[in-house]
Amino acid sequence: MNIKILGTGCPNCKKLEASIKQALEELKIEAKMEKITDIAEIMSYGVMSLPALVIDGEVKLSGRIPDEEEFKTLFSE
Amino acid sequence: MDIFYPIQLFADWLTYSVFEIIPKTLLASAVNFFIFDTIKIILLLFVIIFAVSIIRSFLPPEKIRNILSHEKKYVGNILASLLGIITPFCSCSAVPLFLGFVQAGVPLGTTFSFLVASPMINEVALVMLLGMFGWKIALIYIISGLLIAIFSGMIIEKMDVRNLVEEFALNGNGKNLNLPELNWEQRLKYAKTYTLDIVKKVWLYVVIGVGLGAWIHGYVPADFLAQYAGSDKWYAVPLAVLVGMPLYSNAAGVIPLVGALTEKGVAMGTALAFMMAVTALSLPEFLILKKVMKVKLIFIFASVVGVGIIFTGYLFNWILN
């Protein structure tokens, strides 16, 4: 699984990163995690509210931080 | 009956029975005012931010972009300004919003209408105005804010400033994104987290602002500031806008202070202009916008909005006098 976090370094972007790390650990999922901070690259995904989460090339959510339950469903798909 | 009556009872009880302050003294009225206003405003913040967050979960920026990219010029300006009300704004979201709109084919003027309305009119400012000045002033603020946003966008559109936008901003591929719809559980969760986040961020400003207001309310003579910033002083409005610009947009901190100032003689139009300048014109945002547009365009943007605000200030000094 390939996870990308899109964000320009705002407080919520850091929060999303931390909660993803935690969720991956708890769920024992191996994933490649990458942070995208370049604005042109972020825009190429079509998102406007940050942070956004991209899993295997697909934008899963933008502008909000999900809880553990939602991570579970997101990562197990 | 006043829905805030129970809070008044509570404030009375705390002031006179718990703290045992003698009624009808300056101290009693300051303490009473402080307790009543802080509780009232913080309660209003919870309720209104929550409600707006729920509405927003139906209209994220990605969806707003879809709507706006299909709208004609003038309707687009009006819609963009209205949608700006429910969209929260921080200087870190200015660039993705601008790029997202422009690349999806939203006209520049419409994009600017949104960029003006989004920070200037928001639920925090609304609650603070409602709590401190009542619904009439809150309504005046919203309507004049909307008009400034609509007309600034139209004027910038007419000026044909496309060449002042950075090349890469215009050339990106504007793809529309369809995110999965949220369910109600996710909406409620989002609204709850967002509301707590904001209240956590602003409560201290409310307490300090209202506290300062309470102190000024009781201890500073009523026309203290009238001699410097009354409605007969022509320079008061532009000065308020200049002072407001470098102050970072925090409606929660500024509005209680402004409330106290108006009580001591600053004209209402001047005070409104000050608030609008603080929220709509922010230096950090301008610095960030430099990534996507030439300084000249930022200057045009700031001047058009600034002139609109100054005009509004004079207008209300004249009407509300």
**Domains of chain A and any CATH numbers:** 2-76 (3.40.30.10)
Task: Specify if B31 maps to a domain.
Answer: no
Chain A contact probe: residue of B53, B62, B192 with most A CBs at under 10 A: B62
Q: What is the domain extent for residue B285? A: 60-169+206-319
Q: Under the phi-then-psi rule, with left for phi > 0, alpha for psi from -120 to 50, and beta for the rest, what region is B89?
A: beta
Q: How many domains does chain B have?
A: 1
| pLDDT for the residue B312 | 94
Q: What is the per-residue pLDDT for A39?
A: 83
**How confident is the model at residue B315, as a pLDDT?**
92
List, for residues B42-55, the tens digit of each pLDDT value.
999 999 999 999 99
Q: For chain B, give the mean pLDDT.
A: 85
- Lateral strand order in the sheet of A52-55: A32-36, A2-6, A52-55, A58-62
Handedness of CA B142, B144, B149, B150 (dihedral sign): positive
Q: Is residue B196 part of a domain?
A: no
**Which residue of B92, B172, B176 is in closest CB contact with A40?**
B172
In a domain, B234, yes or no: yes
| Segment B93-104, tens digit of pLDDT | 778 888 888 888
CB contact under 8 A, A47 and B62: yes
Q: Give residue-wise pLDDT tens across range B20-42.
A: 888 888 888 888 888 998 999 89
Q: Which of B89-93, B108-112, B231-235 has the lowest mean pLDDT?
A: B89-93
The verdict on residue B32 lying in a domain is no
What's the token pair of residue B16?
Answer: 């006179």
Residue of B nearest to A38 (CA): B96
Q: Is residue B7 part of a domain?
A: no
> Per-residue pLDDT for B113 more than 90?
yes
Confidence of residue B140 (pLDDT cuts 50, 70, 90): very high
Percent of chain B past pLDDT 90, that is, above it, reads 29
Which residue among A44, A62, A66 sits closest to B179, beta carbon to beta carbon?
A62
Q: What is the pLDDT of residue B112?
A: 93
Q: For residue B160, what pLDDT is reported?
A: 83
Q: What is the pLDDT of residues B208-224, one digit of tens each?
A: 878 887 787 767 776 66
Span B276-310, pLDDT tens digits: 888 888 888 888 888 889 999 999 999 999 999 99
User: Is there a domain that residue B30 lies in?
Assistant: no
Tell me whether 0.90 is exceeded by the ipTM.
no
The pLDDT assigned to B228 comes to 72
Determine contact: A55 vs chain B, CB below 8 A: no
Give the pLDDT band of residue B72 (cuts 50, 70, 90): confident
A57 touches chain B (CB under 8 A): no
- B262: pLDDT strictly greater than 90: no
Whether B43 is in a domain gets the answer no
Contact A16/B at CB under 8 A:
no
Q: Residue B174 has what pLDDT?
A: 60
Give residue B91's pLDDT band: very low, low, confident or very high (50, 70, 90). Answer: low
Tell me whether B217 touches chain A (CB under 8 Å). Answer: no
Could you tell me if residue B39 is inside a domain? no
Which residues of A are marked as active site?
A: 10, 13
Q: Is the pLDDT of residue B269 over 80?
A: yes
Average pLDDT, integer, range B178-194 = 86
Q: What is the mean pLDDT of residues A22-39?
A: 84
User: What pLDDT does residue B296 have?
Assistant: 94
Contacts of B99 in chain A (CB under 8 A): 39, 43
Whether A63 and B60 lie within 8 Å, measured CB to CB: yes
Answer yes or no: is pLDDT of B172 > 70. no
- Dihedrals phi, psi of B131, to nearest 5 degrees: -70, -35
Asked if A18 is an interface residue toward chain B (Cβ–Cβ < 8 A), one would say no
